[in-house]
C-alpha cells in the first residue's frame, strides 16, 4: 500500500511536470522584442537560435538582450523564467531611476564621487 501511494504521488508529479512548459531562449527573446519599440531587440540576437549578434546603435536594446541571455535557464519553467527575466530588468530599472534621480537632484558636478 505504501509503495502504491508513493508511486501515485510520483506519477502525479510526473504528470504535473509533463504539463509544465519550458520555453526556449528564442521564445523568451522574441516575447521581449514584442514590447520594444520597432522590434529593435532582434538587432542583437538570432531569432531562430537566440545566439547573440553584434548589433549597432541601440545600446539599451543590446543591454536587454544580454540580461535576458545571461539569466536564461533552459531547465526553468515558463513562469520561473519570466519571473527571473522580469526581476533582472526590474533591478536594472531601479538602478537607472537612481541615476536619473541623481542627475535631476545634483546637476553637473565636476568632482567625481563614489557612492558607498
- Identify the residue with better confidence: 76 or 10: 76
List, as one string, the DSSP characters of 2-32: HHHHHHHHHHHHHHHHHH-----HHHHHHHH
Query: Residue 24 corresponds to which cell in the numbers above?
Result: 526556449
Looking at the chain, the number of H-run helices and the number of E-run strands are: 4, 0
What is the pTM (predicted TM-score) of this model? 0.72
Pick from 80, 61, 90, 71: which is nearest to 25 by CA? 71
Q: Write the pLDDT tens digit of every residue in 32-65.
A: 999 999 889 999 999 999 999 998 889 999 999 9
The residues spanned by each domain of the chain are: 21-95
Query: Angle 3-7-73 (CA atoms, 0-180°, nearest 5)?
Result: 140
What's the pLDDT band for 81 if we cut at 50, 70, 90? Answer: very high
% pLDDT > 90, the chain: 65
Is residue 112 predicted with pLDDT exceeding 70?
Answer: no
Amino acid at each position: 500500500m505504501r509503495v502504491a501511494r508513493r508511486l501515485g504521488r510520483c506519477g502525479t508529479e510526473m504528470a504535473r511536470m509533463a504539463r509544465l512548459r519550458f520555453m526556449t531562449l528564442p521564445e523568451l527573446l522574441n516575447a521581449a522584442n514584442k514590447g520594444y519599440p520597432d522590434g529593435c531587440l532582434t538587432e542583437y540576437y538570432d531569432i531562430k537560435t537566440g545566439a547573440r549578434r553584434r548589433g549597432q546603435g541601440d545600446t539599451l536594446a543590446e543591454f536587454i538582450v544580454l540580461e535576458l541571455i545571461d539569466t536564461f535557464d533552459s531547465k526553468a519553467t515558463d513562469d520561473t523564467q519570466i519571473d527571473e527575466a522580469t526581476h533582472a530588468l526590474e533591478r536594472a530599472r531601479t538602478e537607472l531611476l537612481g541615476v536619473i534621480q541623481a542627475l535631476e537632484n545634483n546637476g553637473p558636478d565636476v568632482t567625481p564621487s563614489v557612492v558607498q
